[in-house]
């Protein structure tokens, strides 16, 4: 199925596949169910209306979507003071709450375990940068201030970490697994 602006069936399929994961990411960043729902809704709308800007050479559809959710969640956070942010534990049951398919639940559980393992395999500085950015909602400049290193160092750590995570997950067959690969 091709995701294109105005194709409601593609949007529904995308939502069915990734709504739980998107909500879990938004909850991790925001910690507020209502705001997380808003962030997810706005991210899906953005993906749908800007579908033509998706370039599979730059990454998977799933990654594009999750990045949009994360960025929208951070936009919501920036409406509040940084002192109000909290790192929250990812609630595994949130991603599973949208269906009762046991195979999907097993698949999601294995995927989460692989991502946790991949992140834990990173060197401490890279792991910290990834956790602060993707799970804490902090910008690279904020991470640089918090860790007392130059922004360029944070950017380098993030780039290396993401390359390692990509390789790790790809080696385990977890990347890419998106709509653009589906017939």
Instruction: Give the tens place of pLDDT for each residue, 118-136.
Output: 888 999 999 888 888 877 7
Q: Is residue 84 part of a domain?
A: yes
Q: Is residue 94 part of a domain?
A: yes
Look at the chain and report how many structural domains it folds into.
1
Instruction: Give the tens place of pLDDT for each residue, 13-45.
Output: 888 888 888 888 888 888 888 888 988 888 888
**Rounded distance between C-alpha atoms, residue 106 and residue 96, angstroms:** 10
In this structure, what CATH number is given to the domain that contains residue 80?
Answer: 1.10.10.10
Q: 3-state DSSP call for residue 71?
A: helix
- What's this model's pTM, rounded to 2 decimal places? 0.48
Neighbour-count burial of 27, counting CB atoms closer than 10 A to its CB (0-12 exposed, 13-18 middle, 19+ buried): buried
**Rounded distance between C-alpha atoms, residue 174 and residue 62, angstroms:** 11
Q: Is residue 2 part of a domain?
A: no
Average pLDDT, the chain: 76
Q: Is residue 3 part of a domain?
A: no
Q: Is residue 125 part of a domain?
A: yes
Domain extent, residue 94, equals 8-181
* Residue 92 CB contacts under 8 Å (≥ 6 apart), including other chains: 24, 109, 112
Q: Is residue 1 part of a domain?
A: no
pLDDT at 175 (0 to 100): 62
């Amino acid at each position: 199925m091709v995701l294109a602006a105005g194709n409601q069936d593609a949007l529904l399929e995308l939502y069915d596949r990734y709504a739980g994961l998107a909500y879990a990411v938004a909850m991790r960043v925001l910690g507020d169910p209502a705001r997380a729902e808003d962030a997810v809704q706005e991210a899906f709308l953005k993906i749908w209306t800007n579908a033509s800007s998706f370039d599979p050479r730059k990454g998977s559809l799933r990654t594009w979507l999750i990045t949009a959710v994360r960025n929208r969640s951070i936009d919501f956070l920036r409406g509040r003071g940084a002192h109000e942010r909290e790192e929250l534990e990812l609630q595994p049951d949130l991603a599973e709450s949208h269906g009762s398919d046991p195979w999907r639940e097993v698949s999601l559980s294995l995927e989460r375990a692989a991502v946790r393992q991949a992140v834990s395999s990173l060197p401490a500085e890279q792991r910290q940068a990834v956790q602060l950015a993707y799970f804490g909602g902090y910008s690279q400049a904020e991470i640089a201030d918090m860790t007392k290193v130059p922004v360029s160092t944070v950017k380098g750590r993030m780039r290396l970490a993401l390359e390692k995570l990509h390789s790790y997950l790809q080696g385990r067959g977890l990347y890419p697994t998106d709509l653009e690969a589906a017939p």
